[in-house]
Structures are given as C-alpha cells and as structure tokens.
Structure 1
Amino acid sequence: MKSVKWQATLCVLLSSAAILSACGSDKSATGATNASNTASATPSAKQETISVSTNVVGEQAKFLQTLAENFQKENPTIKVEFSAPGKDYGDIMKVKMASNEMPDVFATHGWAKLKYGQFLADLKNEPWANTLDDAIKSIVTDETGKVYVLPMDQDKSGLAYNVDILEKYEIAVPKTYDELMKAAEIIKTKSGGKVSPFHVGGSDIWPVGQFFDYFANPLYISPSANSASKLLDGSFDWSNWDKFAQMYSDLYKNGYLNKDVLTAKYNDDAKALAEGKTAFLFYGAYIIQEAMKINPQLHAGIMPIPSVVEGDTPTFVGGEKTTWGVSKNSKHMEAAKKFVAYFAKPENAQLVADSNGLPAGIKGIKVNAGDLTKYYEQYKDVRVLPYFDRVFLPNGMWDVMCKNGQDIIAGGVTAKQFSDNMKSEFIRLKAAAK
C-alpha cells in the first residue's frame, strides 16, 4: 500500500481551503466541536447552526470533520457543530430517539431502515439520489422509493491481516475456520508468544461483537442448510449458540487472543497490526488505514471470512459504512440537506471512500484503494452477505452480544449462559419491537 496515500488525501482536502487549520487543530474529533474556528465573521443573526453526529472513530472521524470544515468555509452562513463520540454513539442516539431530538444530520452505522428509518427525512428528491451505486441502493432505499441516507462508501469486510507475518511463518491465507485455528497455533508457537494471532480491543466493547457478527453468517446463514428462516420467525434453537460462544472462549483459553483483551482499546488493535504484534483483526480495510498512520511501510491485506461448515465457501460482510441522513424533524432542513449534498459531490464522496479503502456509494467513482485494490479484484466473486445482527437480531441485541462476549472471557458466564442470555433478550426485544 502506498505510504503517502492518507497524507495525499488530506492534502487534497486542505488545498480546497487554504486557511483551514483542522489537521493542526487541538480540537479532537471525539466530542462536539465547532467545525470552523477560522471562518470569516458572519453576523450571528444571519447564521444558522446544524448539529452533525457520526459513529465513525479515529482518523476517519477527523477526516469527516475536515470535510465539514471545508463545507463551512464555502457556506459561512451555516455553522456546523460536529460530534464524533466514539463508543458512546449508540447510547447517545438511543436517548435522542427516546426524546425525539435527533441531530440535524447523523450517521446510521448500518441501521438506516431498521433502527433510524422513522426518524429520517426522505432524500429521494435530492439531485444526488439518482446516482446511488446499484450494489448499495437496495440497502438504503425501500419499495416506496424513499432514500434514507447518502452512502459515501459501502462496506465489504473480511479479516485484515499482516502479510509479512503470514509470509514469515509460511502460512497460506486460511479459507476455513479450522485452517484459521491452525494458523493461529503456528503463529503463537513459532513467535514464542510475541505475536498474538488475533487482537481485540475489548475495553471499547464493540470490537468484541465483530467476531460474532463475522462468524455468525458462516455458522448459521451462508451454508446451503442454514437457520436463516428460523432466526427470522423466532423458532431458532438458541442452544445452537453454545458452540459459537465456546469458539470465542477458546480463542482466549488457547492463547490466540491478546492477554489484555478486556483492557485494550480499538486503537490498540491498529497499533498491534502496525507493529507486527498481531496477525489477524476482525475489521475491514479501515483498520489498515489506521495502522498505516503508525507504520506507513506496513504490508497488510484483506481476506474473506473463512467458512465454518464443511462444503461452504468464504464470504464477506457488507452494507452501509459511512453515511449521512437528515432528521425529518430538523428545524434547519435546507441547511442539513445542503451539508449532505456537499458530501455527495463525486470528488468528496471519492475522498471518503479513498480514506476507508472501500468501494464508493456513488456511481462512476473509481476509488484509489492503493494496494487493497488487488484484493478487491482477487475476491470480486466472493459473496457479500449483510451483517448478521442487522438482519437477524432485533434492535438492542448488539449490546447483549458484546457484553456476553466480554463476560465469557472474564469468566462471568459459561457458553450455555451466554446462549440463554441471547435467547431471553431475543424474545424480549423482538416482542418490544412489535
């Protein structure tokens, strides 16, 4: 991957607003901040403020903030209050939904229709609406033609891995879960424990859920004989989750996970990949972009999620990635739509997609994914399935899955208790959603 890719992308952004100070700003993208401290003075009576909130973290959050600042430079009568609260985003949005006080513009992190649909304005009449890429269009629209969000890019995720580590230990890219576990044992043994086969920033809780969201599909959905219909109609036998919970517990018991899994953070995952201290991560290409900020010489790749059931084949997970939707109750509707339209400009949508190394959500954009391009080409025919929790679990189950994942590592629950908790919460949350 080109070591200057991220810096070059930022330079493109900065060149469009010469006096922009975002990259050197002491304002973090981890909380609410005025998107422009350097905008030319505009009488406050003529300026309206829009609130903008995203679930995106790290460098990508700073990147979106920089674009938001560029927008304000071009639209000095619109003040942008930009917020990227990180792991607290989901909880914050629950409170806002309960009080029906949504941000003017907000990210839907994969839940545009199922979770946030009733709070979103229809954007079908926006000029960019007819430019949505066919691969993502059905995910962010419905049968009535409603366009829920602008998808700047589209997720196509598997495992990120350190190419040099696999080459050093002469390991072929695993295609099955058994092969993945054999690779983990080789790495742990031959490195003398210096390289953790997998690294999970469990303190941030959501990275724990990544494992389950990745491997639920090859366990229950992608095989020809699957449990998809039973999960949808509520007749799934949750004792079948025992094996899944045990798989995660075994990663830790066998020494395949970092020892500090319960105190490590997401940023530590990127650092471990960059420094050659882990081989595999349960994230998409965006984690590689984070790691390359630490080590521009990193050789990393992406691979499909290995199959689990005999006779099945590897898959990717995908769907919405970086999105903006507009609150249907926004008091600044036109300003909010103008903000979203700015990100829909092909040059800006491409910058966002480039920054994540992912396919664009807008037609006609050829993303510069650097060295990752060869992986997308190599695996172009691999099936892309929706994230398991977005289709088969009711709203709220993600937190249950993550918390129990933490607890089974800490020894607070057994595999059976994990399954029992999933069953009881599934029934409760599904009933509450009716």
Structure 2
Amino acid sequence: MRGSKWLLLLGTLLVSGTALAACGSNNGNGGGASASSEASPSSSASAGASSSASPAASKDDKPVTLTVMTNIVGEPANVLEEISKEFTKENPNIKVEFSAPGADYENIMKVKMASNAMPDVFSTHGWAKVRYGQYLADLRDEAWASQIDDKIKPAVTDDSGKVYVLPIDQDKSGPVYNKDVLDQYGVAVPTTWDELLQAAETIKTKSGGKVTPIHIGGADSWPIGQFFDFMATPSFISPSTNDSAQLLDGSFDWKKFDSLPQMLLDLQKKGYLNKDVLTSKYSDSAKAFGEGKVAFGFYGPSLIEEAKKTNPNVHGGLMPIPSVVPGDAPTLAGGEKTTWGVWKDSPNLEAAKKFVAFYAKPENVKKVAAAGGLPPGLTGVDIDAGDLTADFQKYADTPVFPYFDRDYLPNGMWDVMCKNGQDLLAGGITVSQFSENMKQEFDRLRTAAQ
C-alpha cells in the first residue's frame, strides 16, 4: 500500500514535470535578431495551435533557429526585418537570426558558398539561377508558386519547372529625379545622354552650385557600379548595332569600353557630381535628394522611398535610362530585386519554407513592394506606388533589359567594376587602365568558370 502511494506520487510528478517542460519550450523561443540596414541596403498559426489569443506552437514542435540574410539595404531592409519579427510572434518555436550586411553581402556569400555553409534563407540579388542555383531548394510545390507574375517568371524559374526563389517584388528601374528641382529650373526629363548633360549644366548654373545635378554615394562602392550597370546597356546592348554577341562569346573589344568610364569622369570634371562622391554614402544621397539639393540619382525607385525619411513630401519620379547611341530608345533595367531562397541542404528546411511562405502573404508582398516603390512579384497584389504609379503606367511599353552585369559579365566582375570606378574618380587610374583591368578580370573569371 505504502509502495503504491509512492508510485502514484512519482507518476503525478513526472506528468507535471513534462507539462511544465512543454510549456517552457513553447514560450522561450520567440523574437528575431537585429539587422544592419545600411550598406551599399500574416497570419497563419502553427499547426496544432489552440484558439487562444496568442498563437502557440504544437508541443511536438522543436525549437528551431533560422539564419536569414539579405543584400537589401535602407528602409526596404527595415520592412523585411519587421515582417520577420511578425513571423516569430506567430511561430514562437522558430527563432530568426536576421542580418542585412549591405555592401559586404556578396563577399560574405562567396565565402559561404565555398564552404557550403549557406544561410537557411537568403536573397539572390539577381543571380538566382546562374550563381546560386545549385544551392537552392526547388520551391515549385509551395502554394504561392502559381502566383508568380509572368514578367518575372523567366528570372526565377527554369524550363524544368524549378522555382528557385520567391520574388517578393520585381525590378523595373532607371534613374530617379526630384520633380520639384526640375520644375524650379525649367528642365524636362532627359531621354538621351546629351540631354542629361544639358540638364545638369542648366541646374548647376541656375542654382549657383547649390543643387548637385547627380549625387553618387561612392564610399559604399555599389552606387558607382549601379551607374555602370545602367549606362552599359544603352552603350553596348540596346542599340540596333551592338556588342551583345561579342560580350557573350568573349571576343568583345575592350577598347570600346573606354567610352563608359569616360562618361563618369566627364560628370566629375564638369562639376555635375557631388564633390564628396568618394566619401558620401547611399544614405547621404537619399538625404540630399529629400532636401531638394539633388536633381538626379542613379539608384532606382528605392532612393525616393529612402528620401522620404528626410522629407515625407518629396516628389520623385522614375525615368528610363537615357539612350547613348543616336537612333536608340530609352530603356529600363529589370529582373530580380527582393527575393528569398531556401538552402537545399538546410537542416531546417521545413521551417525555412514556412518563413518564405509568410512573406508571400498578400499583405507582406504589398509592404515590401511599397517600401521599394516597385511592382509586386506575385499576382493578385495591388500597391500604391505613390508618385511612381503614374510613371510605371507611362513607361509600361518601354523596353526592359536585364542588368548588364548579370547577363554579360562573369561572376565576380561586379566588385571589379565598383573598385575601378572608385579608383578612376580618385585619380588612381586612367580611362584606358579601367578598361584594361576589366578585360584582364573578364578573361580570367570567364576562363575559371568554364
């Protein structure tokens, strides 16, 4: 009898201890890590949740930590992190270590690819198929996959049907301009490179130097690369007589490339660039744009959204990339922008897919697309792009070309282009040396990739 009582007491304690442990497991794993948003840069309860006010994970769910990394910077990165925090609230058994390293992202990812130790979830910044394809899980069976917009589908799927990433929004980009500045100095939106130079001269002269025609945050390096990426297409790809075939087969005459760094150098020599181009950052470009001290930015729509943190009433506009060759038409750059892919060897594969699916919810797609001022990557989501809504409609039929470096340069050339641009503006190399360096690295990296 006495033994029976002890057995009964022991059983009661074991049951109570198990219940307490389960309770602790459900409540001790929420919250996400803070993100660095500066460079360059919902509602689905867990399976088995009760109908109580706060969603809870099933007692069978084990605590999981997801590593999540994005190349996105600025306000769009803040929005991504906020959505991540909402995810952890609804999935307290999944902790998210979120990071947005900005300009360092590409180099970090190169190291991770070399060691085959990728983040559970990561962004592909235009390289979903070519660079990251072998590391990505196939997401074709996800519920949102059937909603991918036809315009972005070629960039994130292949002929076999594999879906490489969730395209939350899609890039449709060109330089942006401050409408109030252009109106103040009677300048029309330029459509050619010569018209852009004339507009810059007018603004510089009439403002007495108080307004910078074109602002580039060169200390972050990638804004210089963005200039080359934009202007390479009208220089070598979009004209009827072009060098696309030669760039693809490796026979391109790199002496022709001299014209591109010369264009950037001319902007500096004529006083059309900010004097602190090599020490200013992307955030400085946005601040100056919001304050009405800048006319043009070679960044795309995200600059306008970032500038609104300085001046919520700033009036920005999107313009196509000006043509360079006579007879050619202005163009836009397009492809991937904000994406989430899942590492195929992730030890937390299902949790990672659940995280990505959370961002595919219409309300979250809307937040991300609006933060970057871009069209959504999934159908059935309408966004108000503010001033840019009319621009997207106006330029709906403007030709959209992939970013130059993604289609015509081997992996690794982006950093080469950015660094040589910095050296050029600093006076460390000449225009011809820039092109020679590009040729040398192009040949080396292309051979290494074969």
**In the alignment, which residue of structure 2 is the partner of 1:405?**
421
- 8 A contact 1:204–1:265 mirrored in 2: yes
- Mark the CA change 1:191 to 1:77 in structure 2 (over 3 Å): closer, same or farther: same
Cα deviation digits, residues 269-307 of structure 1 (max 9, x gap): 101100111100001111100001110111111110110
Q: Please list, as runs of the form range in 1=range in 2, the aligned pairs for 1:287-298 lying within 5 A after superposition.
A: 287-298=303-314
Cα deviation digits, residues 24-67 of structure 1 (max 9, x gap): x9945349xxxxxxx99989993111100001111111110000
**In the alignment, which residue of structure 1 is the partner of 2:383?**
367
Cα deviation digits, residues 125-172 of structure 1 (max 9, x gap): 111111100000011011111110000000000111000111111111
Amino acid corresponding to residue 432 of structure 1 in structure 2: A
**In the alignment, which residue of structure 1 is the partner of 2:176?**
160
Which secondary structure state, in structure 2, belongs to the residue aligned with residue 156 of structure 1?
Answer: strand
Q: Please list, as runs of the form range in 1=range in 2, the aligned pairs for 1:77-156 lying within 5 A after superposition.
A: 77-156=93-172
Name the CA distance, whole Å, in 2 between partners of 1:312 and 1:346.
38
Q: CA deviation at 1:383?
A: 0.7
- 8 A contact 2:254–2:436 mirrored in 1: yes
CA RMSD of aligned residues (A): 1.9
**In the alignment, which residue of structure 2 is the partner of 1:190?**
206
- Mark the CA change 1:378 to 1:41 in structure 2 (over 3 Å): closer, same or farther: closer
Which secondary structure state, in structure 2, belongs to the residue aligned with residue 276 of structure 1?
Answer: coil
- 1:377 aligned onto 2:377: no
Amino acid corresponding to residue 55 of structure 1 in structure 2: N
Moved more, 342-351 or 219-228: 342-351
Name the CA distance, whole Å, in 2 between partners of 1:201 and 1:391.
25
For 2:255, which of 230, 234, 239 is the aligned residue? 239
Which secondary structure state, in structure 2, belongs to the residue aligned with residue 144 of structure 1?
Answer: coil
- 1:424 aligned onto 2:440: yes
Q: CA deviation at 1:354?
A: 1.5
Name the CA distance, whole Å, in 1 between partners of 2:62 and 2:199.
62
- 8 A contact 2:70–2:101 mirrored in 1: yes
Q: CA deviation at 1:386?
A: 0.4
For 1:64, which of 80, 98, 101 is the aligned residue? 80
- 1:278 aligned onto 2:294: yes
Q: CA deviation at 1:195?
A: 0.9
**In the alignment, which residue of structure 2 is the partner of 1:396?**
412
- 1:313 aligned onto 2:314: no
Name the CA distance, whole Å, in 1 between partners of 2:435 and 2:60.
56
Name the CA distance, whole Å, in 2 between partners of 1:85 and 1:30.
7
- 1:206 aligned onto 2:213: no
**In the alignment, which residue of structure 1 is the partner of 2:357?**
341
Name the CA distance, whole Å, in 2 between partners of 1:142 and 1:426.
26
- 1:386 aligned onto 2:406: no
- 8 A contact 2:322–2:331 mirrored in 1: yes
- Identity between Structure 1 and Structure 2 (%): 62
- Mark the CA change 1:259 to 1:44 in structure 2 (over 3 Å): closer, same or farther: farther
TM-score of the superposed pair, with normalisation by structure 2: 0.87
TM-score of the superposed pair, with normalisation by structure 1: 0.91
Amino acid corresponding to residue 190 of structure 1 in structure 2: K
Name the CA distance, whole Å, in 1 between partners of 2:432 and 2:242.
21
Which secondary structure state, in structure 2, belongs to the residue aligned with residue 358 of structure 1?
Answer: coil
- Mark the CA change 1:389 to 1:71 in structure 2 (over 3 Å): closer, same or farther: same
- 8 A contact 2:56–2:91 mirrored in 1: no
Which secondary structure state, in structure 2, belongs to the residue aligned with residue 72 of structure 1?
Answer: helix
Amino acid corresponding to residue 124 of structure 1 in structure 2: R
- 1:29 aligned onto 2:36: yes
Which secondary structure state, in structure 1, belongs to the residue aligned with residue 152 of structure 2?
Answer: helix
Cα deviation digits, residues 156-189 of structure 1 (max 9, x gap): 0011100011111111110100000000111111
Name the CA distance, whole Å, in 2 between partners of 1:199 and 1:138.
33
Amino acid corresponding to residue 290 of structure 2 in structure 1: A
For 2:367, which of 351, 372, 376 is the aligned residue? 351
- 1:177 aligned onto 2:193: yes
- 8 A contact 1:29–1:65 mirrored in 2: no
Which secondary structure state, in structure 1, belongs to the residue aligned with residue 296 of structure 2?
Answer: strand
Name the CA distance, whole Å, in 2 between partners of 1:160 and 1:226.
26
- 8 A contact 2:224–2:422 mirrored in 1: yes
Amino acid corresponding to residue 423 of structure 1 in structure 2: K
Q: CA deviation at 1:191?
A: 1.0
Q: Computing the radius of gyration over CA atoms, which structure comes out larger, 1 or 2? A: 2
Unaligned runs of 5+ in 1: 1-20, 32-38
